[in-house]
Amino acid sequence: MATPVRAAIAGVGNCASALVQGIHYYRERAASPHTGLIEPTIGGIGPGHIEIVAAFDIDRRKVGLPLEQAIFAKPNCAKVFQHNVGAGGPIVQMAPVLDGVAPHILEQPEDRSFRVADQSPCEVSQVLRDSRAEVLVIYLPVGSERAVQFYAESCLDVGVAVVNCIPVFLASEPAWAKRFEQRGIPIIGDDIKSQVGATILHRTLARLFSTRGVRIVRTYQLNTGGNTDFLNMLARDRLASKKVSKTEAVQSALATPLAPENIHIGPSDYVPWQGDNKVCFLRIEAEGFGGVPLEFEARLSVQDSPNSAGVVIDAIRYLRLASALGMGGVLTEASAFLMKHPPMAMEDEASGRWCREFAARTIT
């Protein structure tokens, strides 16, 4: 049996809720087909082998609670698909706030937004060290640049691998990537792709049009949702890196990148009653044979947090396998397959092939 993968979580929001639920969901179904997973096993490691050993947050309704209770506390609204998430999990520790909370968030009704705990922050490096965490999953709000860098420093200090799920650039920033390489610590980033989400759908369609000789003239992707991620992104100053990440993810799939005025991709609005349901409206205008126009429109509706949790489960396991094999620095191909803003863009077929071959390796 594989040794448990000891993981920590920074940010106990909807995505963390889906991740924890998913670990227990697949642990209970270890003997059955793993529907919903890209890779059932990676290096012999199943999703149920992941153990969350530390968690950090700043909300007073979560700090001090066992993780199995905190993941269901407000303002979380992720779909509950696994009620039994065990007991005796780590206590959620108070983290440094830094730039993790946008001012407008605090003006919202309490059941939709953060409420900062009146506690002194813990020593994050010490908690990671004491918990013997091997991987840290960064689930902070978009725009939390100082906070993400703080956690990156803590991981470099302790020797913990990183899954950077948000568009604050670590793996794709050469200076940070070099530091992880020098310390021999693997990292996957930046900005998690959903399993079947707006970005991967848009990339696939863009590639399809290009390979069939159809020239895309202009395109947009408009997304709405009602979770705290969409609420946070109402602050446009926190949204810049997200738009860069999502736009480059699609541009990299085009034979010829579009001029900025002909491509619009990014979160569009916060609709409270949608909760964790994310709706994408996608349009492509193109020219086919003889310059004849072609138009395509689609609507995609997904539960946002579970849609990315399976990708994170894979990232955690790739990092554990990489650590066991003595690999440090950015896992380039895994980042290209799993992330919107990797350090090197690759076609999904090529990066996916590398991931499948790497997953088949075993830890000796």
Q: Tens digits of per-residue pLDDT, 198-228?
A: 999 999 999 999 999 999 999 999 999 999 9
Contacts of 108 (CB under 8 A, 6+ apart): 231
Q: How far is CA 22 from CA 50, 58, 167, 306, in A?
A: 10, 23, 23, 8
In angstroms and rounded to an integer, the radius of gyration of the C-alpha atoms of the chain is 20
- Condensed to tens digits (0 to 9), the pLDDT of residues 99-119 reads 999 888 888 888 888 899 999
Average pLDDT of span 116-135: 97
**Cβ–Cβ under 8 Å, residues 119 and 92:** no
- Cα–Cα distance list, 70 to 12, 64, 66, 93, 194 (Å): 7, 9, 6, 11, 23
**CA-angle at 173, arms to 171 and 177, nearest 5°:** 50
Q: Tell me what the mean pLDDT of segment 234-247 comes to.
A: 86
- State phi, psi for 291 to the nearest 5 degrees: 75, 10
Angle at 56 between CA 52 and CA 59, to 5 degrees: 130
Give the model's pLDDT for residue 122.
98
- Structure confidence at residue 165 as a pLDDT band (50, 70, 90): very high
Start-end of CATH 3.30.360.10 domains in the chain: 198-305
- The single residue listed with the structure tokens 């005025």 is 261
Name, in order, each residue with C-beta under 8 angstroms of 263's C-beta and a sequence gap of 6 or more: 218, 219, 220, 247, 250, 251
| pLDDT recorded at residue 362 | 81
**Residue-level pLDDT at 364:** 62
Q: Sorting pLDDT into bands at 50, 70 and 90, what band is 168?
A: very high
User: pLDDT confidence of 351, banded at 50, 70, 90?
Assistant: very high
pLDDT at 146 > cutoff 90: yes
Where are the domain boundaries for CATH 3.40.50.720 in the chain? 5-193+306-359
- The structure's pTM equals 0.95
Which residue has better confidence, 140 or 104? 140
Q: Residue 88, Cβ neighbours under 10 Å: how many? A: 7
In 3-state terms, what secondary structure has residue 35? coil
Which of the residue ranges 84-88, 245-249, 334-338 would you say has the lowest mean pLDDT?
245-249
| Per-residue pLDDT at 326 exceeds 90 | yes
Most confident of 187-191, 240-244, 246-250: 187-191
Mean pLDDT of 59-75: 98
5-193+306-359 carries CATH number 3.40.225.10: no
Q: Which amino acid is at 72?
A: F
Query: Is pLDDT above 60 for 1?
Result: no
CATH number of 198-305: 3.30.360.10
Q: What is the mean pLDDT of residues 20-48?
A: 90
Q: Are 33 and 80 a contacting pair, CB within 8 Å?
A: no
Bridge partners (DSSP) listed for residue 192: 339
- For the chain, what percent of residues have pLDDT higher than 90? 86
Average pLDDT, the chain: 94
Angle at 45 between CA 29 and CA 41, to 5 degrees: 70
Give, rounded to a whole angstrom, the gap between the first and last alpha carbons of the chain. Answer: 13
Counting DSSP H helices and E strands in the chain, the numbers are 11, 11
Residue among 191, 213, 209, 208 at smallest CA distance from 141: 191
How many CB atoms are closer than 10 A to CB 351? 21
Residues sharing a CB contact under 8 Å with residue 139, sequence separation 6 or more, in sequence order: 9, 10, 11, 12, 13, 15, 16, 165, 166
Per-residue model confidence (pLDDT) at position 363? 74
pLDDT of amino acid 268? 78
What pLDDT is recorded for position 33? 64
What does DSSP say about strands 92-94 and 50-57: parallel, antiparallel, or unpaired? Answer: parallel
What is the DSSP code (8-state) at residue 187? Answer: E
